[in-house]
Amino acid sequence: MDQAAHGQLTDLSTDECWELITTTPVGRIAWTSPHGPVVVPVNFAVNGRAIKIRTTAYSSMVQEADGERVAFEVDRVDEPTRSGWSVLVRGRAEVRYGEPDDGTLPEPWPRGPRPATVVVDADEITGRWLNSPGQ
Amino acid sequence: MDQAAHGQLTDLSTDECWELITTTPVGRIAWTSPHGPVVVPVNFAVNGRAIKIRTTAYSSMVQEADGERVAFEVDRVDEPTRSGWSVLVRGRAEVRYGEPDDGTLPEPWPRGPRPATVVVDADEITGRWLNSPGQ
């Protein structure tokens, strides 16, 4: 094995990022509140170059992220080998109500109504792979 | 089983949050860059009521987060049962160089020097538990 590659961080291509982001149902959305950044795990769907998230009508996400720049992160970590990957989507969030469920909406994991859809239009996607020091 | 509890989100106590945060070696730090929020996965250590992260001297984290409010998130998700928990730490980040490795510094997973230590002093910690819809 290539010793030089141990614990190496490598950039992922845009295509690799979009491919990896569909392999996990839960990501994390971050926005900037008046009291600094907030990060919340959410389940989501990818629709073209947008991320769709469903939330409650009066959530902080709706109140603070609508029309603002946000970040959306997914990752997969393998603790025993200390390897993994992460993908970061950046773009503007838009809150929509009454989005038709045309198969592009995620099914919310928590109970209760989630009438608001937060759509993050990706204008940037980047990712990195950390390979195992033992590989 | 209690049907009413299916897919229920429940707040975690402060003690539960501090306990859970030590059960996983990787979290995500978020800060606000000039181009909006950024989220980066990092391995970390908990020291008292602070989170310690090691990074390179010229990372965006060092350049953009020093002295600013940041968020630090950890979670654990079980996809088959759609359950899990998440903890969010908020506070101000401070970048230090030459921190003595007195056992409170994390061992960086990526290769290469990580001379900068980002210390997040927690002034707020919150968390939630999502139980399984099948439980």
Identify the bridge partners of residue A55 per DSSP, sorted by sequence position: A116
Q: What is the per-residue DSSP string for A22-84?
A: TT-SEEEEEEEETTEEEEEEEE-EEETTEEEEEE-TT-HHHHHHTTSEEEEEEEEEETTTTEE
What does the H/E/C string look like for chain B? CCHHHCCCEEECCHHHHHHHHCCCCEEEEEEEECCEEEEEEEEEEEECCEEEEEECCCCHHHHHHCCCEEEEEEEEEECCCCEEEEEEEEEEEEEEECCCCCCCCCCCCCCCCCCEEEEEEEEEEEEEEECCCCC
Q: pLDDT at position B61, please?
A: 97
Residue B117 lies in a domain: yes
pLDDT classification of A5: cutoffs 50, 70, 90: low
- Give B98 to chain A, closest Cα distance, Å: 23
Residue A31 lies in a domain: yes
Determine, for residues A30 and B39 on separate chains, whether the beta-carbon distance falls below 8 Å. Answer: yes
Looking at residues A23-46, what average pLDDT do you find?
97
Determine, for residues A39 and B39 on separate chains, whether the beta-carbon distance falls below 8 Å. Answer: yes
Determine, for residues A39 and B133 on separate chains, whether the beta-carbon distance falls below 8 Å. Answer: no
Query: Is residue B64 less than 8 Å (CB to CB) from chain A?
Result: no
Q: Which residues contact A55 (CB under 8 A, 6 or more apart)?
A: A42, A61, A62, A114, A116, A117, A118
Residue B7 lies in a domain: no
Q: Which of residues 17-56 of B touch A (CB under 8 A)?
A: 24-26, 28, 30-32, 35-41, 43
pLDDT above 90 for B101? no
Determine, for residues A88 and B7 on separate chains, whether the beta-carbon distance falls below 8 Å. Answer: no
Query: Nearest Cα to B29, choosing from B5, B60, B2?
Result: B60
Q: How many domains does chain A have?
A: 1
Residue B99: CATH number of its domain: 2.30.110.10
Q: How high is the mean pLDDT of chain B?
A: 92
pLDDT above 70 for A135? no
- Give A36 to chain B, closest Cα distance, Å: 5
Tens of pLDDT, residues B37-58: 999 999 999 999 999 999 999 9
Q: pLDDT at position A4, please?
A: 46
Domain range for A65: 13-131
Residue A97 lies in a domain: yes
Q: pLDDT at position B39, please?
A: 98
pTM of the model: 0.93
Reported ipTM: the value is 0.93
